């Protein structure tokens, strides 16, 4: 019985010592000044919408790192809010390591399409349909869609104006274009006319190429591919004013 009591006392004392050591270590850690900030920014194809040095200065001001602010006083919630408010950052994570360094990992949005509205304003669209603003510091080379797109540049995916703007259809066409290397190399731009139908600008082709809506878009593009490989460069082809892909199993061409 005595041995059992002594054993329990030993465990209690040991546990108390561990807790005390943990509290001491934590207190000592939280009172340690933040040493530095490390930012890992995953950009678009090696380029960046977000300037890493600017972001470093902004986070440094939040942390008051110049005044050797203690780790316990660092407002991690404000840091996360600042990162989330950045329109070019898709997701981020931040933590302070045992080496007293604030680590920030951030991933930028990856543009798939740039869409211009009727007023000439533009924004980028990702593969998943998320929208984000353009940036003066970096202009990636992506397919452009323009014409009869009616949306404000602060539009969100969930907004009804997004659903009715034609952006989703333009993205769908862009995704179909990307499936084929030859087709992707041929097409320079997507255009939405006043009737809400889509046209495409084809490199080295002066004719107006009409897609219509997004129905059977893969078949339409395949017809165009076969037609271009067969006719491109011929004298007959150069006389075409319009190429209409809207009709099933045929291309209706109009001469100049």
The model's pLDDT over 124-142, given as tens digits with 9 standing for 90+, comes to 999 988 889 998 888 889 9
Contact 103, 40 (CB under 8 A): yes
- Same domain membership, residue 120 and residue 101: no
* 7-30: average pLDDT: 54
Q: Is 172 exposed, middle or buried (0-12, 13-18, 19+ CB in 10 A)?
A: middle
- Same domain membership, residue 126 and residue 97: no
- Same domain membership, residue 248 and residue 233: yes
Beta-strand ranges (E) seen in the chain are 36-42, 89-96, 101-108, 113-116, 122-125, 131-133, 143-147, 187-192, 198-202, 208-212, 240-244, 252-255
- Give residue 142's pLDDT: 93
pTM above 0.75, yes or no: yes
Which among 60, 89, 108 is the end of a domain? 108
- Same domain membership, residue 211 and residue 226: yes
- Same domain membership, residue 173 and residue 148: yes
Q: State the DSSP code for 50.
A: S
Count: domains in the chain? 2
Average pLDDT, the chain: 84
Query: What span, in angstroms and rounded, lies between the C-alpha atoms of 32 and 34?
Result: 6
- Same domain membership, residue 212 and residue 127: yes
- Same domain membership, residue 60 and residue 129: no
3-state secondary structure of 8: helix
- Give residue 24's pLDDT: 45
């Amino acid at each position: 019985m005595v041995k059992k009591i002594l054993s329990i006392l030993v465990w209690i004392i040991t546990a108390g010592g561990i807790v005390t050591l943990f509290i001491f270590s934590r207190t000592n850690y939280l009172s340690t000044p933040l040493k530095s900030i490390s930012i890992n920014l995953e950009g678009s194809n090696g380029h960046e919408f977000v300037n890493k040095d600017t972001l470093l200065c902004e986070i440094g001001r939040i942390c008051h790192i110049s005044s050797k602010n203690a780790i316990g006083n660092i407002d991690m919630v404000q840091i996360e809010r600042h990162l989330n408010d950045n329109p070019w950052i898709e997701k981020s994570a931040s933590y302070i390591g045992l080496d007293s360094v604030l680590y920030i990992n951030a991933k930028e949005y990856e543009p798939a399409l740039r869409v211009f509205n009727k007023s000439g304003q533009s924004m980028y669209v990702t593969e998943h349909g998320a929208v984000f603003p353009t940036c003066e510091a970096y202009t990636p080379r992506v397919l452009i869609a323009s014409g009869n797109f009616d949306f404000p540049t602060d539009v969100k995916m969930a907004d009804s104006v997004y659903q009715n703007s034609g952006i989703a259809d333009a993205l769908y066409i862009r995704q179909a274009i990307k499936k084929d290397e030859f087709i992707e190399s041929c097409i320079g731009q997507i255009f939405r006319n006043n009737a809400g139908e889509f046209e495409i600008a084809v490199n080295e082709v002066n004719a107006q190429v009409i897609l219509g809506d997004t129905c059977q878009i893969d078949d339409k593009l395949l017809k165009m591919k076969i037609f271009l490989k067969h006719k491109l460069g011929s004298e007959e082809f150069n006389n075409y004013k319009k190429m209409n892909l809207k009709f099933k199993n045929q291309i209706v061409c109009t001469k100049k």
